[in-house]
Structure formats: structure tokens, C-alpha cells
Amino acid sequence: MQSIEQFQERVRAAAADKQALRIRGGGSKDWYGQRLEGEILDTRGYRGIVDYEPTELVITARCGTPLSEIEAVLAERNQMLAFEPPHFSENATLGGAIAAGLAGPRRAYGGGVRDFVLGAKLLDGKGDVLSFGGQVMKNVAGYDVARMLAGSLGTLGLLLEVSVKVLPRPLADTTLRLEMSEIDAIRRLNEWGGQPLPLSASFWHSGVLLLRLSGAQAAVDAAVRLIGGEVVEHAASCWEELREQRLPFFGGEDALWRLSVPSTTGAIVLGGVQLIEWGGAQRWLRSELDAATIRRSVAAVGGHATLFRGGDKSVGVFDTLQPALARIHERLKASFDPAHIFNPGRMY
């Protein structure tokens, strides 16, 4: 197994030589981000669950631990990663899931990746091991730094170890199918979202809305009677297909845009096809429109657009940062990675 000392030697040598390092676990998300640059720093050898206390709802594991291993251990105790991280490959690792910051269908109702990160150990660009947060929510020392690593795409350092809050699996799950227009789906989702209903996932596409209800059996049954629609049998695979983007909508090599907007935003007409998730807050778009037009239209409703997969990355995968926020990013990068060796250019 790889050791921290081996990582430290590699990082210090790279910093001295001004050599870029490309942090990589299973490579399941190599396509995500601006560009890949530098010699690969493979994390898969640094793996294993460090601590798991089911009664405390916390698991701590090394960065190279496969996501499938984490989920299998949790399933034995009827627990789960509540943010439902997509794998995109059987090789996906816990470190990669945290660094990518991507959450699945439960995100709008259960929380995102950073909401469940309690603590982390990071190897910075000087080769020093830094510890942030802890294993309980009460330990807030450096807590924001640990959460900040979620979605940083490895640009601040090598995430060595992470403590994550887990949750019990719901006692009951039911999926409903309802036929309705895009406008009606957005309106109904927001109406239901304001009621004490056990919603845990939703998506609309091509006139069909699927709604997942999770929780106590009595609460799920009551919601089914209130909402109506057709109960979908054996629907778990459907939500997995959505999470892993294996539905036909996600096929092809053309540009796939991820639009993040207020959930109450009405239909966004951009000359393509859309799939709507997260109660209306996340919209996937296939369109031949240029990036500037898409981003201008989304910004007009208070949102932002990410070129998630495919397309011409020269337009910028992520929206341009405002000057004040860009300066914060620059200061953070200079503090954690002064030689700029970690994943240069992956984000901006």
C-alpha cells in the first residue's frame, strides 16, 4: 500500500522541479473539468476504511478506497451515502467523489457532498499534512476548509482521508409516474416541495415526471394517496440509471450542459431538449446554441451553466468568476499550493 511518506516525497520533488501533478484515482471523471495536465499521481494504492461507527453515523476512509467498497460496508448496516454520488465507472474512489463534488438524485432533498463532509486530511503543495474538522458535527475547528475541498477537483492538494456523515436507509421507497407538461411539472414540484412530503428525488423528461418518495411506510403511503399517479414497480434501477447518466438522453458526444437555476424558474427555451432534476433546480440541456447565448439566458434567471461533458471546452467549462471571487480562489490556491503543481488548469 502506498504511504503518506511516498506521497510527500513525490510532492516535494514536484514542487522543487516546478513539475505539474495530476491527481487521479479511478479516472472515472477524467472528462470533467477544463483540462488534464501533469504526471499522474495515482491514489488507488492508499485505500481502506480507517474508522466506521454506525451508531455515530460517521465513516472515515482513505482517498483511494473504492466507492463500491464504502457503499457495501454501509449497506451491511442499512446505511448509505445520502448525497448518492455518481460513480460513472466501477473504479470510482471516495477521494474522487469528494473532489468532484457531484451528487445524485437525492441532492435537492437530502443535501450535497459538502454538507456531509465532517473532516479531512490534506497533503498540501509543500508536502505537509493538514487536518481539518473532525468526526462529529460539533467539532467545527477548520470545518469550512474540509467542506471547501468538496468540488475543488484536486486543485488545492491531495485529499488523503475524509470523514463523512452517513444516514440510515429509508424504510420504504416508492416511485410515482405522472404525465404532465414541463411547466406543470415545475409548478407541481415546487408546490410539493413546500409540503411535509417525503420527497427524495424527481426528474421530468419528454412529458413524464418520475417522483421518488422515501421514509416511513405510513408517510410514503399517505403521499402516494395525495399525489396520485402510477406506482412504478422495481424502480431502483431507474434512479441508478439517472444517477450514472445511462439514460438515452445522456448518450452521444455532443455538448451536455448542466444548468443550475432557482427551482421556481419556468421553462427555459434554448432550442434543445432538457431533462429536469432536483425539483426544477438542475436542468440538463442538449442544444446547438453557442455557449454565450446559453450562459446569458441562464444568468438572466439567476443561474449559471456548466459545460458538463463533450462540446468545445475552449468556451470554458465553468462560468467565469466575478473578480472578487476570483481573487479568493487565487489566494486559496497560493496558500495551499504555492508552486501550482496540483491539477493546473482543471477548473479555470
The three cell numbers of residue 182 are 414541463
State the Cα–Cα distance between residues 305 and 265, nearest whole angstrom.
14
| pLDDT at residue 336 tops 90 | yes
Q: What is the DSSP string of 222-277?
A: HHHHHH-SEEETT-HHHHHHHHTT-SGGG-SSS-EEEEE--TT------SSEEEEE
The pLDDT of residue 143 is 40
* Position 293, amino acid: T
Q: Please compute the mean of the pLDDT values over residues 302-321 and round it to a whole number.
A: 95
The pLDDT of residue 99 is 97
Q: N- to C-terminal Cα distance for the chain?
A: 33
**Cα–Cα distances in angstroms (integers) from residue 66 to residues 44, 62, 89, 219, in the given order:** 8, 9, 10, 34
**Cα–Cα distances in angstroms (integers) from residue 32 to residues 79, 155, 222, 229, in the given order:** 28, 13, 40, 36
**CATH placement of domain 4-168+329-336:** 3.30.465.10
| pLDDT at residue 141 tops 60 | no
Residue-range domain boundaries for the chain = 4-168+329-336, 171-310
pLDDT digits (tens, 9 = 90+) for 184-224: 999 999 999 999 999 999 999 999 999 999 999 999 999 99
pLDDT digits (tens, 9 = 90+) for 215-251: 999 999 999 999 999 999 999 999 999 999 999 999 9
The pLDDT of residue 140 is 40
The pLDDT of residue 134 is 66
The pLDDT of residue 38 is 96
The pLDDT of residue 133 is 81
Q: Please compute the mean of the pLDDT values over residues 83-105 and round it to a whole number.
A: 97
Q: Please compute the mean of the pLDDT values over residues 270-276 and round it to a whole number.
A: 94
